[in-house]
Structure 1
């Protein structure tokens, strides 16, 4: 006989659990604690099963009957309502454990395991922080409009380049999610063209020889920390990226072979890179060796030898020399080298590109070129150091191979 709401409210707890039936498999369990729980009993493939519908009175009699009828409809359609509920719970747990933040952090962990540079993984972590509004949402729930909204918030703050980089990073996370079975597609691919294209800004660099000679003289006269001065003196000669210079280690320097060998783990393109050492650079390194050698960082931080020099140290030194942000930067020294070496007409563009450690767009050609141009690069680096000495010490126009240089003379000794 069907239950009535008044009758259910009157049910009192006993020492043991007991049941009161409603209709068509629905009943209520009364527990010794006083709890009254809805249950639905049914058979599926010859087995008796029970489905919980919740607690009375949070779930009313009418709601319990509605749930029962829905379950009976599933049974008529050949679906086990209990198995379907379990699948739904598993899916909910799966989604909750596979949010954008979870997958992104796992992806960054993969980058670390692959030996990506610390700066690269740190930037990835910073980009994830910019996308914090997406972190708590399952990958499968995120739509292009959700990602666009997060990127537009960055644009509204004037962070156009950050928004562009965040879209690229989010795309890598989604593609990793697809590859690991936790996403179906990359919605960021539909956002191409939706963001404001930032204006390309180049690293500030001095491109006039006479002006560059003034900078070299300012470096020579720099009154600050000796390690900082030597970092500023070496940087124009070696053409390496600022991060590669400041994280350089003494074991990478081969004085006998006049070469600096940088492992792939510290290179932007993940390829090992060798830099010929001119006599001038070797002289600077020998001076540094007395300060920071023979192990560890060549340019350690001032307060601890366990960390490299700060990434802003050289740029701050330029500011103290009187150069504004828009005039020269540590990275811009590479632009100066590239420009003046190409303008000299003495060296092949491929040799210059190899010394700058630029990747070749043609993979086959790039693989071949990695082993070529070494002899030319050795001669070029010595010519470049001699030319820098000429700019620093005297007038332009002479072949630097015939000029005298205090640094070269010191190296010979």
Structure 2
């Protein structure tokens, strides 16, 4: 017998929960505390399952029957109504449905997860190209040809690397939309190969010992833009970090008494702390910089304000003024120089060299082994490299010994 509102209102709680059937699987569960909850029993895939439709009277008898009918319609299409209900709930909780809203939601999530400021800046830049064209569109209506129009604009400007990153950013937004039940597929996969491939250009670097000695002498003779740029280039040669890691270095990262520099994971490319040993020559240079900038935050502050680090173009401009163009040697090239000549020396385990360069090993255990077990060898290696830089600066050839390691 079907329920009526009068009958429901007259139902009194008892010592145990009891069910009052309405028909076709729908029933009202009356609990001892007086709550009246709508439930629907059904079978799917050979299993008995239950749906919840809320509490009476917030969910009326009419509402409950409508929800039951919708669940039965899903079952007729061989769709589990509990899955449909979860998707609808996720959609309600997720927020807006436009590409821009979902992209901004994803960016906020990544920022809250502690992604580095530089990473977030790049992600916003690449997504801005897509938002300009697709921002107001409902994400589940965006198809591959629309995205291709955005990528073609960058391709025509020969921004092939940027186009690839924009496609990757769009795909990330779509995957987040799928996870939050606002899209069903990622159309960017269909765009692989649709635009010209970007040919990666390696960072220019001097890898000949004699020519590198010429560069070191030119840096020593450099007199432009204050002491900071010169000292930064000298440290790049000795320590070969990523340029951004040195430019943004803060005094709190250095322990000059223990001769170590700990680059925090928030700034390191591989998102983990990277501890580097400092040879005596580097400690002397840093102590010299302390006299200039030791009272501030940054080791190498901007020329315009101490509140910001040195410009990312400062070292490039200095090298260019010395006669070393971007096709000859760039700041990032110091890493290639050190890697090449250290490996050619035959004195050090290649894994120790990779650990010093903070290259990420795909095997996490192996990476941890690199950072720990090779520390003593890295200390010897950095001291040896600093001495070799002095030899090359003086004009002596780099000793090419392939034998027993130091």
TM-score, normalised to structure 2, is 0.73
Q: Report the equivalent of 1:289.
A: 290
**Alpha-carbon distance in structure 2 between the residues aligned to 1:103 and 1:162:** 21
Structure 2: how far apart are the matches of 1:356 and 1:226?
Answer: 26
Which position in structure 2 is the counterpart of 1:101? 100
**Aligned position for 2:117:** 118
Q: 2:23 aligns to what?
A: none
The yes-or-no answer on 1:344 pairing with 2:339 is no
Task: Report what 1:388 is aligned to.
Answer: 389
Give matches, 1:180-195, under 5 Å: 180-195=180-195
1:162 and 2:158 equivalent? no
Deviations 1:143-173 (A, max 9, x none): 1111122112211111111111111111111
CA contact (8 A) 2:262 2:275 kept: yes
Distance 1:235 1:182 in 2: 47
Which piece of structure 1 moves more, 218-227 or 113-122? 113-122
- Helix, strand or coil for the counterpart of 2:362? coil
State whether residues 248 and 297 of structure 1, in contact with CA within 8 Å, keep that contact through their aligned partners in structure 2.
yes
Asked if 1:127 corresponds to 2:105, the answer is no
* Contact kept in structure 2, 1:117 and 1:268, CA below 8 Å: no
Residue 236 of structure 1 corresponds to 237
* C-alpha distance in structure 2 between counterparts of 1:362 and 1:46, whole Å: 59
Cα shift at 1:117: 1.5
Equivalent residue pairs, number? 316
Counterparts of residues 268-307 of structure 1 (less than 5 Å):
268-307=269-308
- Cα distance between partner residues in 1 of 2:249 and 2:235: 12
- Pair 383,95 (structure 1): closer, same or farther in 2 beyond 3 Å: closer
Equivalents in 2 of 1:95, 1:343: separation in Å? 55
Q: Name the structure 2 match of 1:356.
A: 357
C-alpha separation in 2, matches of 1:145 and 1:94: 30
Between the aligned partners of 1:287 and 1:46, the Cα distance in structure 2 is: 81
Please give the per-residue CA displacement for 1:291-343, whole angstroms capped at 9, x wherever unaligned. 00044000001111110000110001001111112111111111111111111
SS at match of 2:373: coil
Runs of 4+ in 1 over 3 A off after TM superposition: 92-96, 397-400
Secondary structure (helix, strand or coil) at the match of 2:128 reads helix
For residues 32-90 of structure 1, give each alpha carbon's deviation from its aligned partner in whole angstroms, at most 9, with x where no partner exists: xxxxxxxxxxxxx989xxxxxxxxxxxxxxxxxxxxxxxxxxxxx9xxxxxxxxxxxxx
Which is higher, the Rg of structure 1 or of structure 2?
Answer: 1
Shift of the alpha carbon at 1:182? 2.1
| Cα pair distance change 1:46/1:354, threshold 3 Å | closer
Question: Does the 8 Å CA contact 2:346/2:400 hold for their aligned counterparts?
Answer: no
1:223-277 Cα offsets, whole Å, 9 max, x none, are 1111111111111111210111011000110112110011111111111100100
- With normalisation by structure 1, the TM-score equals 0.72
Compute the displacement of 1:109 (Å): 1.8
- Structure 1 contact 288–298 (Cα < 8 Å) conserved: yes
8 A Cα contact 2:98 2:139, kept in partner: yes
* Alpha-carbon separation, structure 1, partners of 2:398 and 2:239: 23
Aligned Cα root-mean-square deviation (Å): 2.5
Name the structure 2 match of 1:147.
147
SS at match of 1:370: helix
- In the alignment, the residues of structure 2 paired with residue 138 and residue 368 of structure 1 have an alpha-carbon distance, to the nearest angstrom, of 48
Structure 2 match to 1:378: 379
User: 2:316, 2:330 within 8 Å by CA — same for their partners in 1?
Assistant: yes
Residue 372 of structure 1 and its aligned partner are, at CA, apart by 2.2
Distance in 1, Cα, partners of 2:375 & 2:295: 27
Unaligned runs of 5+ in 2: 1-60, 64-72, 74-90, 402-406
Instruction: Report the secondary structure of 2:258's partner residue.
Output: coil
The 1:94–1:143 alpha-carbon spacing in structure 2 relative to 1, beyond 3 Å, is farther
Note the 1:36-55 alignment, pairs <5 A.
Answer: none
Distance, in Å, in 1 between the alignment partners of 2:362 and 2:93 is 41
Cα distance in structure 1, aligned partners of 2:376 and 2:349: 12
Structure 1 residues 184-228: Cα deviation after superposition (integer angstroms, max 9, x where no partner): 221112222222111120011111111111111010000111111
